[in-house]
């Protein structure tokens, strides 16, 4: 295992919930409607626009292109407000330890997040200098579940996806890792992430030795 391609929201930090909180506020303000918990899974890992499309489809609401764009901007403003108080304390359990192990074994770290806020969040978590590369989601042709962002993240550390492991908490993300050719590690619910090659219930269980051994066996 020469590289690890990290998802951000829900893997490195507990910022995943902020996204859905921001969507909830936006939908309440605009349409006075509530979003059910079950909808969150459809917005995880996918781009801002794809998230809003899923939400509007669920609500059976149609908006004009300019309203749509205004809503994605407004959602991001709410999300950024929620991020304002982010500190290294928001790094999920086990992640700092895993990063230290990876560094000790000369494994390269690359960010494969769909979020345009990735660099800002890594800065607030004081992890920006820890990463060897950050793939730019605005430069890839298709978002997760397409493999593009994982291929770009591997490429940014001069590796092929086969030499890498991807870590994800979303269904779209696991599908993206698998079709990129990297080895997928899921963090979360077994029913949701059944396609992951290796699954952990939460980040505190992530183990460098286990992941490396599973990657080796797979290749
Ligand atoms: C992913 C989140 O990491 O980033 C999604 O899981 C989000 O919920 C996506 O839609 C895009 O994020 P942003 O910050 O560009 O709106
Ligand atoms: Mg995620």
Domain residues of the chain, as ranges?
3-14+89-218, 16-83
pLDDT score at 139: 98
| Residues with a CB atom less than 6 Å from ligand 1 | 8-9, 16, 19, 43-48, 51, 76, 113-117, 170
> Do 147 and 176 meet the contact criterion of CB atoms below 8 Å apart?
yes
Work out the number of other CB atoms within 10 angstroms of the CB of residue 168.
29
**Average pLDDT of the chain, as a whole number:** 98
- CATH fold label, 16-83: DNA polymerase; domain 1 (1.10.150)
Q: Dihedral sign, CA of 106, 208, 164, 110? A: negative
d(CA 138, CA 131): 19
If you average pLDDT over residues 143-153, what whole number do you get? Answer: 98
Neighbours of 89 (CB within 10 A): 9
Task: Give per-residue pLDDT as tens, 87-138.
Answer: 999 999 999 999 999 999 999 999 999 999 999 999 999 999 999 999 999 9
Domain at 3-14+89-218: CATH architecture: 3-Layer(aba) Sandwich (3.40)
Residue nearest to ligand 1 atom 1, measured at CA: 45
CB atoms within 10 A of CB 216: 10
Structure tokens at 29: 């303000």
**E strand residue ranges, the chain:** 3-6, 108-111, 133-134, 164-168, 183-187, 198-200
Which ligand is nearest the CA of 171, by number?
A: 2
Instruction: Please give the pLDDT value at position 62.
Output: 98
pTM: 0.97
pLDDT digits (tens, 9 = 90+) for 7-44: 999 999 999 999 999 999 999 999 999 999 999 999 99
């Amino acid at each position: 295992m020469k590289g690890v391609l990290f998802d951000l929201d829900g893997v490195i930090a507990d910022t995943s919930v902020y996204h859905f909180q921001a969507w909830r506020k936006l939908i309440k303000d605009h349409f006075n409607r509530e979003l059910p918990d079950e909808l969150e899974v459809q917005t995880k890992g996918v781009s801002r626009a794809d998230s809003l499309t899923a939400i509007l489809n669920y609500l059976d609401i149609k908006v004009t292109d300019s309203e749509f764009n205004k809503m994605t901007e407004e959602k991001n403003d709410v999300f950024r407000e929620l991020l304002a108080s982010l500190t290294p304390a928001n790094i999920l359990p086990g992640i700092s330890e895993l990063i230290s192990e990876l560094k000790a074994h000369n494994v390269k770290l690359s960010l494969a997040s769909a979020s345009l806020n990735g660099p800002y969040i890594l800065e607030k978590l004081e992890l920006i200098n820890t990463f060897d590369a950050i793939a730019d989601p605005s430069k890839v042709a298709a978002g997760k579940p397409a493999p593009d962002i994982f291929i770009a993240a591997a490429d940014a550390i001069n590796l092929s996806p086969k030499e890498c492991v991807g870590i994800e908490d979303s269904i779209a993300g696991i599908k993206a890792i698998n079709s990129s050719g990297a080895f997928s590690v899921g963090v979360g619910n077994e029913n949701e992430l059944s396609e992951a090659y290796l699954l952990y219930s939460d980040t505190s269980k992530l183990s460098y030795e286990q992941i490396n051994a599973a990657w080796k066996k797979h290749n």
